[in-house]
A = this chain, B = another copy of it.
Amino acid sequence: MSMDTLIQRIVQTQNPTVVGLDPMLEYIPEHIVSEAFAKAGEGLAGAAEAVWRFNTEIIDAICDIVPAVKPQAAYYERLGWQGVRILYETIAYAHKKGMYVITDGKRNDIGSTMEAYAAAHLGRVKLGQKECEPFGADALTVNGYLGSDGIKPLLAICREYDKGIFVLVKTSNPSSGELQDRLIDTKPVYEVMGGMCEAWGQEVMGRHGYSAVGAVVGATYPDQLRALREKLPHTFFLVPGYGAQGGGAADVAGAFDRRGLGAVINNSRGIITAWKKTPDGVRDHAKAARQAALAMKEDILSYLGSIAL
Contact = CB atoms under 8 A, between A and B. Distances in A.
Interface residues of A, dominant DSSP: helix
A178 B120 contact: no
Interface in A6-44: 22, 24-25, 33, 37, 42-44
B176 A193 contact: no
Interface residues of A, number: 72
A2 interface: no
Contacts of A106: 107-109, 143
A202 interface: no
A128 to B, nearest CB: 3
B44 A132 contact: yes
B145 A168 contact: yes
Given A106-B108, A128-B43, A148-B178, A74 B143 contact: no
A185 to B, nearest CB: 8
A145 B145 contact: yes
B42 A129 contact: yes
B78 A173 contact: no
A221 interface: no
A165 interface: no
A306 interface: no
A67 interface: no
Interface string A135-159: 1000000011111111000000000
Contacts of A116: 24, 72, 74-75, 77-78
Interface stretch (A84-92, A247-255, A286-294): A84-92
Contact of A87 (B81, B83, B125, B196): B81
Nearest to A43: B130
Contacts of A72: 109, 113, 116
A98 interface: no
Contacts of A130: 42-43
Interface string A115-131: 01101110001011110
A77 B113 contact: no
A37 B179 contact: no
Contact of A110 (B42, B119, B125, B173): B173
A174 interface: yes
Closest 5 CB pairs of A and B: A42-B128, A147-B175, A147-B178, A80-B134, A74-B116
